[in-house]
Amino acid sequence: MIEVEHLTKVFGSGTESSNRVLDDVNFTVDGGEIFAVVGPSGAGKSTLAQCLNLLQRPTSGKVIVNGDDLADLSAAALRTARRRIGTVFQSSNLLARRTAAENVALPLEYLGATKQSTKTRVHELLDRVGLGDKADHYPHQLSGGQRQRVGIARALALKPAVLLSDEATSGLDPQATDSFLRLLTEVRDELGLAVVFITHEMETIVKVADKVGRIDQGRIVEQGALVDLVLDPDSPLGKSLRPRGA
Ligand code: ADP
Ligand code: MG
């Protein structure tokens, strides 16, 4: 579903190694899988998210979604391919002057969907994330967790194949985080999405990840199935994931 091959991103002139924000990143995420990318602040996670939907152009390497190398596509084809990728951000980026329903409707409006079909789809989506009764609420009238679920509804509006989540649970309380993660796994199962779940919070990945990649200074320094890493006594990631004393 999504394949990343030798992805490198260098900002600026590229002569200084400190500008190398992503360095030879490789991974694959199949439909129905959640790949968690975990690493400290400044490791390159958000740059990776932006390269995955080509908001940033990779310096080299490939991002292949459903068999299409995004870098090879014409501008029109890229717009179509981008629709296959839904994104949920930290603090959800909802428009403050639009209701929950109007925020979810945005991508459908851009696409030129009819009023009626938009309305039907928006209600379906808000129902799906458990906020059918909050359609007319503005973002400031919703809790942080509710705003993130509206963010998921908006990301799903165009029926993507890939869902990117960049620090979407950072800043949520434990209960709202659990509810977000539960929703994420449910839609993954229902829609067969390939999910890239990016976070600096080690404790969240145990709850959702099928596979994990640990990123540090732009490199994926270890990756594998979550169970394998947890069981591997030599894995630094596994060590930090195991319950204390185990
Ligand atoms: P993370 O999301 O893991 O905290 P980021 O991808 O936001 O990391 O940032 C990784 C590094 O890339 C940081 O050192 C940051 O300053 C740098 N960086 C991010 N975006 C740009 C940009 N547009 N131009 C130059 N440097 C950038
Ligand atoms: Mg970030």
What are the tens digits of pLDDT across the range 186-227?
A: 999 999 999 999 999 998 999 999 999 999 999 999 999 999
Q: Whose CA is nearest to atom 17 of ligand 1?
A: 21
Task: Give the start-end residues of each E strand in 42-104.
Answer: 60-65, 68-69, 85-89
- For residues 88 and 193, give the distance between their C-alpha atoms in angstroms, rounded to a whole number: 14
Q: Give the number of whichever ligand sits closest to the CA of residue 40.
A: 1
Structure tokens belonging to residue 106: 């945005």
- Asked if 6 and 183 touch (Cβ cutoff 8 Å), the reply is no
Atom from ligand 1 closest to the CA of residue 40: 3
Please name the amino acid found at residue 203: E
- For residues 162 and 187, give the distance between their C-alpha atoms in angstroms, rounded to a whole number: 11
pTM of the prediction?
Answer: 0.94
ipTM attached to this prediction: 0.97
Query: Residues of the chain with pLDDT > 70: what percent?
Result: 96
Q: Whose CA is nearest to atom 14 of ligand 1?
A: 42
Residue with tokens 């932006």: 50
CB of 44 closer than 6 angstroms to any ligand 1 atom: yes
- Residue ranges of the chain with per-residue pLDDT less than 70: 14-18, 244-246
- Asked if 65 and 23 touch (Cβ cutoff 8 Å), the reply is no
